[in-house]
Structures are given as structure tokens and as C-alpha cells.
Structure 1
Amino acid sequence: MKYICTTIINLSVEKTVRLWTDEDHFDEWQDGFESIELLDGEKHAVGSKSKIIIKQGKRKLELIETIISNNLPTEKKALYEHIHMSNTQTTRFERISDSRTRFTSEVEYTKFNGFMPKLMAKLFSGMFQKQSQKWMDQFKEFAEGVQWS
């Protein structure tokens, strides 16, 4: 399963990327975000691993993020592994003008483990894209609301 989400943010690429990589603000635009903890390597470096905890209802999802490439402010690619599924996400930031940035996320689910995750992927594939787009739209609202001095 593969999909692409995109939005336009009314900020420069530099400001957009600075906010997008600032872990102190993840909870302001990612529903359920609880924590991120560096497990191995140097933060944001290729090969580094982090544990991400996201709360969904009463459940907590634990994801392991492995950085595949990091060419920010242009692009970052990471692998996200969960007990039930794995996916890669390539995030791109493209300068439209000095104050506008195209924010694109390309997600490809590469593995589903177990009957229920496979069934959900088949029956509710749009749910995955909808969640990604929701976080992107929430990031846009957050980023455009930041007061810069």
C-alpha cells in the first residue's frame, strides 16, 4: 500500500523544517504523541534509531524509527516499525516562494504482520492516508500560527 499526501504551508522552507524537526512541539500537531527517545546513534543522523510512543484511545503504539536518509531541508526518509506493520516515509519540502513551502509525505507500507492488520489494510486503506493527511494539516495550522520575533 502506497500513498502521497501534500499541503502548502505559508512559511519559508527554513522555518517550516525548523518547526517540523522540533520534537518539543510534536504533541501540538500529532494527535496522541507522547514521546520520542533516541535509542542508538546521533539524533537525525542516518542509521539512528528512536522509539516513538503514540497513544490511540486506551492503547499505546510503540514505533521504532530508523533514519534511512536525511537531506533536510529538502528531504528525509525513515523506516517505521511496529509489531503489526512496517512502512517507509519520505518527507519532502519544496520552496514555492520565500514564504510558501510544499510539504509532501510519501508513505509505503511494506509489511503487515498477522491477520487483523492485513485485513484492516485491505478494508480500511484510506484510514491510513486520512491519518497522515490529518497530521500534515494540523502541522500546517500549528506552523502558520507560530509568532516569529
Structure 2
Amino acid sequence: MKYSTEIIIDKPREEVLEKLDNIHNLKHWQNGLLGAIPISGDTGEEGSKIELHYKMGKREMTMIQTVIKKKLPTEFHATYDTKGIQNTQQNYFQELNAYQTRWIVECEFLFNSFAMKVMGFLMPGAFKKQSLKYMKDFKAFVEDGESVSNE
């Protein structure tokens, strides 16, 4: 399953990337994040891995982020692996002007189990909706300092 989403952030690209490229900021825009633990490499650099722990409703999930390409200020690509699913995410950052940045996300989900294949087939919109929710929360964090964290 593939899809693309995008959002315009009313801040300069340099400021957007400064907030995005900081592991400590994840909690401010990824609702449900319990923790992010570096497990190998230099955090955020190509080849590095981070273990991400989420609680979504009553369900807890662990995901491994692997950075596959970091060519800032224009691109950042990573894979996210969890039980039954691999998500490859390509992020592009376009400087629209001195005060606006377009963030484009191209996602591809590969389902490794029958149950996940069925879920992807029956609910493809749920994945895109979740991606867009994270992007909107990131926009609110960058533009207005709003955080989804309870801390």
C-alpha cells in the first residue's frame, strides 16, 4: 500500500528541520509515544536505529526506526518495522519562501502477516489518517509550541 501526504508549515525550513531532527521532540508531536531509545549508530544519522514504544488505546507497540537516507535540508528517509508491518517513509522538505516549508511524506507499507494484509486492505485510510495526524501535530508544535505530551 502506498500513499503520499503533505502539509505547509509556516516556519523557515531550517527551524522545521531543527525541531524534526531532535529525538527529544518526538513526544511533542507523536501522540502515544512512551519512549524513544537509541540502539545503534549516531542517532538520526544514516544506518542508526531507534526503538520506539507506543501505546495506542489499550495496545502497546514497539517499532524500530532505521535511517536509510539523510540528505538535509531536502530529504530524510527511514524504515519503521513492527510485528507484521514494514513502513518505508520518504520525507521531502521544500522551502516555499523564507517563512514557509512544504513537508511531503511518501509512505509504502509492506504487510508480512495475513492479519496485517487484511487490515491494510480493509482500512487503508486509517494509515494515511494517522500519518496526517502526526504531521498536523508536528505543525502545531513547530508553529505554536503546542505539545501532545502530558509532561
| Aligned match of 2:149 | none
TM-score by length of 2: 0.92
Moved more, 66-75 or 19-28: 19-28
User: What is the identity, as a one-letter code, of the residue corresponding to 2:14?
Assistant: E
TM-score by length of 1: 0.93
Per-residue CA deviation, residues 94-140 of structure 1 (Å, 9 max, x unaligned), is: 1000000001111011x212222111100100100000001101111
SS of 2:76 mapped into structure 1 = strand
User: What is the identity, as a one-letter code, of the residue corresponding to 1:43?
Assistant: T
**Structure 1 residue 72, shift from structure 2 partner:** 1.5
Structure 2 gaps of 5+ residues are 147-151
User: What is the identity, as a one-letter code, of the residue corresponding to 2:41?
Assistant: G
| Aligned match of 1:29 | 29
Q: Distance in 2 between matches of 1:139 and 1:48?
A: 22
**Structure 1 residue 58, shift from structure 2 partner:** 1.7
SS of 1:27 mapped into structure 2 = helix
- Kindly indicate whether residue 91 of structure 2 is the aligned counterpart of residue 84 of structure 1: no
Moved more, 94-103 or 16-25: 16-25
**Structure 1 residue 44, shift from structure 2 partner:** 1.5
| Aligned match of 1:139 | 138
Q: What root-mean-square deviation, in Å, do the aligned CA atoms of Structure 1 and Structure 2 show? A: 1.3
**Structure 1 residue 25, shift from structure 2 partner:** 2.1
Identity %: 35
1:108-127 alignment runs, 5 A limit? 108-109=108-109, 111-127=110-126
Structure 1 gaps of 5+ residues are none
| Aligned match of 1:129 | 128
